[in-house]
Amino acid sequence: MSPLWRERVVVGLAPERLSALLLGRGWRPRLLDRHALPLLEQDAGEWKKGLEALATLLDEPGWHGRDIAIVLSGHYVRHAIFPASSGLSGKERQSLAEVVFRDTFGDLAREWELRISPAGKGLQTLACGVPRALLEALQTVCAGRGRLLSLRPGLMPVFNQIRRDIGQSVGCLAMVEMGRTTLAFFELGQWKHVDSRAGNAQSLPLLLLEEAELSARQPGGILWLCDLTDAASLPDDTFWSYQQVNPPALAGMDDQDNLAVWGMV
């Protein structure tokens, strides 16, 4: 049976909040239930309280035994541009990803599980790294409580929402979360640079300016903004045009800043 024809749980895991949606069957899912729990006194990058809360939720009768899709906050994910690699085997691509991540993030990358997005011939793509300890802990929590079908960094469904609009344009996708902003730059349909920076929502203009200086790139283009804080400041210059990136509409769901909503993309 297709996963679309089973009730499923979509989870958004962030250091400050666990959010979850219980969705009905079908191509147009119905919202059956929702859950949001602030995770007080949990530092950025930590996940213990979130996993404890998820285990408790999945033990509840209405949530138990469902298919599970999880979207991870940018606090738990690091991204790097993966070079064009036509002709490489899967093993060679994985080895190259390990080199790219060690060059970018140092020895800490040895503790991460790496995944590479598909790419057209001759094009750069995006790779991501997630701590193996977090992946193993999530698998343990889901085992016996449901079936873990997918696990994605939050940037990917946001990108999928606008990928057709990007086309050959120049600009930046900014995903603003509580305490962290992820910036992904595009030029003529290709990934050019990606970074994830600590900071509040009001620091977005400064982060954009700093990234332009670091990469020796003229600032400007289209700024696609996914703001999960509803507090992001926009650049006040004329270099950027602005487009809001919204999650899919879901009847009965008024919290559009909820990370879990992006699990439907």
Cα–Cα dist 210/223, whole Å: 15
* Average pLDDT score, the chain: 91
pLDDT in tens, 71-125: 999 999 999 999 887 778 889 999 999 999 999 999 999 999 999 988 777 788 8
* pLDDT over 70 (residue 2): no
68 forms beta bridges with: 9, 148
Residue reference for tokens 């004329």:
238
Amino acid 118: pLDDT: 83
Cα–Cα dist 123/163, whole Å: 15
Domain 157-244 has CATH 3.30.420.260: yes
Burial of 212 (0-12, 13-18, 19+ CB in 10 A): middle
Q: Model's pTM, two decimal places?
A: 0.93
Amino acid 3: pLDDT: 53
73 three-state secondary structure: coil
pLDDT in tens, 128-184: 999 999 999 999 999 999 999 999 999 999 999 998 888 889 999 999 999 999 999
Cα–Cα dist 144/11, whole Å: 17
130 three-state secondary structure: strand
Element (H, E) at 147: strand 146-153
Domain formed by 3-75+130-153, architecture: 2-Layer Sandwich (3.30)
Helix and strand totals (H; E) in the chain: 5, 13
Amino acid 212: pLDDT: 84
Q: Which residues contact 108 (CB under 8 A, 6 or more apart)?
A: none
pLDDT in tens, 206-256: 999 898 888 777 788 999 999 999 999 998 877 899 999 998 888 777 776
pLDDT in tens, 3-20: 556 899 999 999 999 999
